[in-house]
């Protein structure tokens, strides 16, 4: 293991920092001396920093603070600070210990090196220590569980039990220069304001599938990894039309899918109470080793499965299930598939989950069903977008993420739609509403494309070709 802060380590750090940051070394003990005065002279008033220790047991750990070091001789408040471990005795074992008492996040004393938490939870070093040719014998320590959550860890599990430090580094953490908003948006939309919102809302409210096909409601299937935000998307759309934040459907974080029952959600106009002319079909989250087989997928696409069907990941779906729709009409079938992908974890989607999605795509392509990708959690991908959602199409990071997903699933970039669901909000926000409606409109347009193609097929007398079943 090298003592450098490697690219893969930086990527892990970027996940914890929810961004695309660059790291510039301000202080390196083997170069600058293990000395508090030197540390402060090189690191004070610079901005957010990450302190990293490499010890002789090949454990790598440290702390992040978004507050500048400044010799204030006092505690500093920082709700974003955290401690972490990257390697334990040379093994990749990343863990984050978030701050639980932000008012004691760092102790900023001129006589001490980087110091985090009351207690302290983590002291890199206090006294000046001389390099003995192999390591610094540090007087620092790690005792998590005071101002930082121990998260099940102990001093020994973080440090591997060694106080012999091969290196102590402090890096400045900054946004990559490429994160600066673009001058021209990468996707053009009309100006985001109340009028635009009303227009979009009215269009969706007035949406009707092709009347020649006798379809009352377009059916949109939401599929994707556990926790990607499928159910939250329904809740977000529902909130827009209800006029207040609702959590009608249960969403959240769990090891396995929180959604276990197939639901064909309706959305109602708040004034009339009438259902709008589309349904969102919410499914169980995909997992690397669990989920639907090819038959199950075809049943989903072809409208064979009933509302409230209980997914059972360990048993294949068969026509014997209660409520199986043996002869679904065109109106029962799926008219557009939406792959829901967590934008903040695109780089770490398990290979098996990607394979599963690609496997699904084969069945969709055979049926000519349009595929859209909903890229959720963009508030966690880009800071400026998180602060002001109307910046989404000016964000190079969101644009890059869209490009990556387009390559992964082999879909045109125009089919990849970034979104931010309601999650912690208690009041509706104009920009969230606008982006949601804009996205929904694209989805409904795609469902229409499918129906127009179907109508063409009927008129050409080639209908059988669409009734595929393997
Ligand atoms: N910050 C942020 N959090 C989100 C967003 N969308 C969803 N979440 C959160 O992500 C977690 C998972 O969301 P769900 O909607 O339950 O995800 P799901 O895809 O339905 O998951 P399963 O049903 O378990 O497969 C919840 O805690 C949501 O609050 C988003 O756009 N931004
Ligand atoms: Mg769900």
Contacts of 199 (CB under 8 A, 6+ apart): none
- How far apart are alpha carbons 329 and 335 in whole angstroms? 12
Look at residue 457 and tell me whether its pLDDT is greater than 50.
Answer: yes
Q: Specify the DSSP element, H or E, that contains 50.
A: strand 49-55
Handedness of CA 7, 11, 13, 19 (dihedral sign): positive
- pLDDT tens, 233-283? 999 999 999 999 999 888 888 778 788 899 999 999 888 889 999 999 999
Rounded Cα–Cα distance for residues 394 and 177 (Å) = 14
235 CB less than 6 Å from ligand 1?
Answer: no
Q: Are strands 82-88 and 106-108 parallel, antiparallel or unpaired?
A: unpaired
- From ligand 1's centre to the CA of 106, what distance in Å? 32
The residues pairing with 65 across neighbouring beta strands, listed in sequence order, are 49
Residue nearest to atom 7 of ligand 1 (CA): 229
**Segment 108-150, tens digit of pLDDT:** 999 999 999 998 999 999 989 999 999 999 999 999 999 999 9
Q: Are 226 and 256 in contact (CB under 8 A)?
A: yes
In the chain, the N- to C-terminal Cα span, in Å, equals: 51
Give the per-residue pLDDT at 287: 85
Indicate if the pLDDT at residue 468 is higher than 70: no
Atom of ligand 1 nearest to the CA of 376: 31
Model confidence band, residue 1 (pLDDT cutoffs 50, 70, 90): very low
Find out whether 166 and 4 touch, Cβ atoms under 8 Å: no
CB of 386 closer than 6 angstroms to any ligand 1 atom: no
Ligand 1, pocket-test mutation among 423, 425, 426, 429, most atoms within 8 A of CB: 423
Instruction: Look at residue 251 in the predicted model and tell me its pLDDT.
Output: 81
Predicted local confidence at residue 206, as pLDDT = 95
Higher-confidence residue: 363 or 460?
363
List of residues 6+ apart from 395 with CB closer than 8 A: 179, 181, 182, 378, 381, 382, 384, 385
Q: Is the CB of 436 under 6 A from ligand 1?
A: no
Residue 82 has pLDDT above 70, yes or no: yes
Residue 177 has pLDDT above 80, yes or no: no
Nearest-5° Cα angle at 442, 436 to 443? 85
183 versus 143: the higher-pLDDT residue is: 143
pLDDT number for residue 462? 62
**Torsion of the alpha carbons at 432, 434, 439 and 440, rounded to the nearest 10:** 100
pLDDT in tens, 389-416: 999 999 999 999 999 999 999 999 999 9
State residue 315's pLDDT score: 83
Q: Could you read off the pLDDT of 151-163 as tens digits, one per residue?
A: 999 999 999 999 9
In the chain, domain spans:
7-175, 178-466
Residue 330: the pLDDT is: 94
Strands (E), 269-331: 275-282
Contact 142, 155 (CB under 8 A): yes
Which of 220, 223, 207 has the alpha carbon at shortest distance from 369? Answer: 220
Apex 466 CA angle, 465 and 469, nearest 5: 95
Structure tokens at 53: 């220790």
424 lines ligand 1 (CB under 6 A): no
The CATH classification number of 178-466 equals: 3.40.50.300
Name the closest ligand to CA 18.
Answer: 1
Q: Is the C-beta atom of 285 inside 6 A of ligand 1?
A: yes
The per-residue pLDDT for range 439-451, each reduced to its tens digit, is: 999 999 999 999 9
Instruction: Show Cβ contacts of residue 217 under 8 Å, excluding neighbours closer than 6 positions.
Output: 209, 266, 275, 276, 277, 278, 279, 331
What number is the average pLDDT over the span 357-373?
Answer: 96
């Amino acid at each position: 293991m090298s003592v450098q802060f490697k690219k893969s380590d930086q990527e892990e750090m970027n996940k914890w920092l929810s961004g695309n940051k660059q790291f510039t070394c301000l202080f390196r003990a083997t170069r600058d001396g293990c000395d508090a005065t030197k540390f402060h002279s090189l690191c004070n008033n610079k901005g957010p920093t990450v302190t990293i220790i490499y010890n002789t047991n090949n454990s790598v750990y440290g702390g992040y603070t978004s507050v500048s070091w400044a010799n204030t001789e006092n505690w500093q408040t920082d709700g974003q600070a955290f401690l972490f471990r990257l390697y334990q005795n040379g093994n990749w074992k990343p863990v984050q210990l978030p701050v639980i008492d932000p008012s004691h996040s760092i102790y900023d004393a001129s006589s001490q090196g980087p110091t985090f938490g009351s207690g302290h939870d983590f002291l890199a070093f206090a006294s000046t220590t001389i390099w003995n040719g192999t390591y610094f014998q540090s007087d620092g320590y790690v005792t998590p569980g005071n101002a930082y959550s121990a998260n099940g860890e102990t001093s020994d599990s973080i440090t591997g039990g060694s106080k012999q430090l091969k290196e102590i580094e402090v890096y400045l953490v900054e946004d990559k220069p490429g994160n600066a908003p673009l001058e021209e948006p990468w996707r053009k939309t009309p100006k985001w304001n109340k009028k635009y919102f009303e227009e979009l809302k009215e269009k969706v409210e007035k949406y009707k599938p092709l009347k020649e096909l006798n379809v009352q409601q377009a059916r949109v299937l939401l599929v994707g990894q556990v926790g990607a935000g499928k159910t939250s998307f329904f809740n977000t759309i529902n909130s827009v039309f209800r006029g207040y934040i609702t959590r009608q459907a249960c969403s959240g974080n769990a090891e396995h899918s929180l959604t276990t029952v197939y639901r064909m959600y309706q959305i109602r106009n708040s004034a009339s109470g009438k259902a709008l002319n589309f349904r969102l079909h919410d499914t169980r989250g995909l997992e690397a080793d669990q989920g639907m087989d090819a038959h199950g997928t075809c049943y989903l696409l072809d409208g064979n499965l009933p509302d409230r069907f209980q997914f059972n990941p360990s048993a294949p779906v068969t026509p014997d299930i209660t409520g199986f729709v043996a002869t679904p009409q065109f109106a029962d079938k799926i008219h557009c598939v939406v792959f829901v992908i967590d934008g903040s974890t695109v780089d770490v989607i398990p290979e098996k989950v990607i394979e599963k999605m690609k496997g699904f795509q084969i069945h969709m392509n055979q049926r000519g069903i349009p595929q859209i990708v909903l890229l959720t959690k963009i508030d966690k991908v880009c800071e400026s977008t998180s602060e002001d959602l109307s910046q989404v199409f000016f964000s190079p990071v969101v644009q890059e993420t869209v490009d990556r997903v387009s390559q992964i699933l082999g879909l045109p970039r125009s089919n990849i739609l970034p979104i931010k669901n309601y999650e912690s909000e208690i009041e509706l926000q104009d920009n969230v509403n606008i982006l949601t409606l804009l996205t929904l409109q694209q989805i409904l347009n795609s469902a229409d494309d499918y129906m127009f193609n179907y109508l063409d097929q009927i008129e050409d007398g080639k209908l059988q070709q669409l009734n595929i079943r393997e």
